Amino acid sequence: MGGFGALSWRQGWLWSGLMAGGAAAVYGYGRFVERHRLVVERVAIPIAGLPADLDGLKIVQLSDLHLHPHTQLAQIERAVALANAEAPDVVALTGDYILQRIGSMRALTPVLRQLRARLGVFAVLGNHDAIKGPRLTRAALAAAGIPLLVNAGVCLPVGAAALYVAGLDDGSWGWPDLDAALAEAPAGAPVVLLMHEPDFADMAAADGRVALQLSGHTHGGQVRLPGVGPLVLPKNGRKYHTGLYRVGSMWVYTTRGVGVNNMPVRLFCPPEVTVLTLKRL
């Protein structure tokens, strides 16, 4: 009995050590490998009645850059390089450029200025930007040549057609006004709506004028377990938290984003640069 008990005691320590080592390895991978492993996600968006001149139009979405302290400028520079390599027609920035210090926006300006798109680069606020410094965010984006759409939109002529890109105020700390954002949308022009928090999609779909909503905010949960999904999701991002959804007659795509929050780990949820291509049905 003594030998059996001693063996069981040693086995217990062995298994405890293996489990601790495994947990440390998983954490190390999530912190030092996966959160830096930017991937390009390619998504086709079929739209009924899409004008022929808009068929194949390419939108690159970047979101949740969250510069400092856990996401460094080099990661964002890589994301910008990947975006430019796609030669997009439009670049959509869907908020949360910083994490803690609004002053970090100044460091982002020269990097975001490098973004290139045939029809333009457009941005909206995220919850971090809205609460920590919307005016400085607007100024930093303007210095990069990027308009900030706050309950506003812009019409982009493409051949004989037009695409309308609209942006809403942040849904957590601002006052989103869809009617104001779509006030100048031409009849028949497909509407792409930039809105940081994805769960606004129910309201946008009920309105009936939006073809595609692009969102971020959730980071895909950052840590996802196979068969379980994301462990933690933020308010206003728990319903349409990752990837492509059909909501009524509208599409919503929620990106996993580029950076991380105060938990600097990603697992089964790598950061992404999203390439969305409009397809005519």
DSSP at 120: E
In a domain, residue 16? The reply is no
In a domain, residue 15? The reply is no
- 172-220 residue pLDDT tens: 999 999 999 999 999 999 999 999 999 999 999 999 999 999 999 999 9
Tell me which residue range forms the domain holding 237. 33-280
pLDDT at 100: 86
Asked whether residue 246 carries a pLDDT value surpassing 80, the answer given is yes
In a domain, residue 23? The reply is no
In a domain, residue 11? The reply is no
In a domain, residue 7? The reply is no
**CATH number of the domain where residue 170 is located:** 3.60.21.10
Partners of residue 225 on adjacent β-strands: 229
- How many folded domains does the chain comprise? 1
Residue 19's alpha-carbon distances to 33, 47, 97, 117, in angstroms, are 20, 49, 37, 48
The pLDDT mean for the chain works out to 94
Asked whether residue 14 carries a pLDDT value surpassing 80, the answer given is no
Q: What share of the chain is helix, strand, coil (3-state, %, to 5)?
A: 35, 25, 40
In a domain, residue 2? The reply is no
- 99-156 residue pLDDT tens: 988 888 999 999 999 999 999 999 999 999 999 999 999 999 999 999 999 999 999 9
Q: Are strands 191-194 and 212-215 parallel, antiparallel or unpaired?
A: parallel
pLDDT at 8: 75
In a domain, residue 19? The reply is no
pLDDT at 2: 46
